[in-house]
Chains A and B, each alone.
Chain A
């Protein structure tokens, strides 16, 4: 999961999408215009961000909107704990830091 988060945020266009969404929920077409990319391209990027638990898209009538969600943060916290327990193994095995 943390790999998906890093992969999702590793692309400059997807980081631009996240930056736009920090201002609040937006329609897919409103996102596409300033980025100068097609609706299809935006939809593909949104799918990667959704798979990482960073955004959620919803359809209201004929308008598809998307917004940031905190699910990607879960992966970050788990990743922090996995690293901590790796170090616990090393400490108990008497390895130097």
Chain B
């Protein structure tokens, strides 16, 4: 009973949001690095160590931060490392990114943002298609990652 079977789960979820602003205005919040940082990386739930966005096809986007005391995982580092794959100004952005939580890589994902006209506003359709993995980094790393999460959680409770 000591054998470990690495497992990958594929998952797709969508989030739909409506904004009173025009598609061009909402799109600009994705294309301007300083603006995108404010909603993508900043916030009460994390402390940002690094954020950079090179908004062009093939450009890289890196966010390194730590979860704040306002989350169940205070101090836990989170890293998102991605690249932009497709840009249609005012209409669509597609990017690919990996997410690492603690020392533990948790996913590789394709993110599609569609900016659809909705009256005078915008309907944002976000589709997140990911492979979530566990065990590919070996039992020792997996134990370390889970222990970090559980320790952080215990402190938050």
Instruction: State the A residues within 8 Å of B (CB).
Output: 6, 9-10, 12, 15, 18-19, 22-27, 30, 65, 67-71, 73-74, 76-78, 80-85, 87-92, 97
Instruction: State the B residues within 8 Å of A (CB).
Output: 1-5, 7-9, 11, 13, 15, 17, 19, 21, 25-26, 29, 35, 38-40, 42-43, 45, 72, 78, 99, 101, 106-107, 109, 124, 126, 128, 130, 132-134, 139, 142-143, 146-147, 149-150, 153-154, 157
A23-B43 CB under 8 A given contacts A10-B153, A81-B126: no
Please state if A91 and B128 are interface contacts (CB–CB under 8 Å). no
| Partner among B8, B13, B26, B147 whose Cβ is within 8 Å of the Cβ of A92 | B26
Least CB distance from B145 to A in Å reads 8
- Chain A residues with CB under 8 Å of B150's CB are 9, 15, 18-19
**Majority DSSP secondary structure for residues of B touching A:** mixed
**Majority DSSP secondary structure for residues of A touching B:** helix
21 sampled A-B residue pairs with Cβ under 8 A:
A6-B72, A9-B149, A22-B143, A25-B4, A26-B1, A67-B5, A70-B9, A70-B134, A73-B107, A73-B132, A78-B128, A83-B43, A85-B124, A85-B126, A87-B38, A91-B35, A91-B38, A91-B39, A92-B19, A92-B26, A92-B29
Residue of A nearest to B26 (CB): A92
| Partner among B3, B9, B45 whose Cβ is within 8 Å of the Cβ of A25 | B3
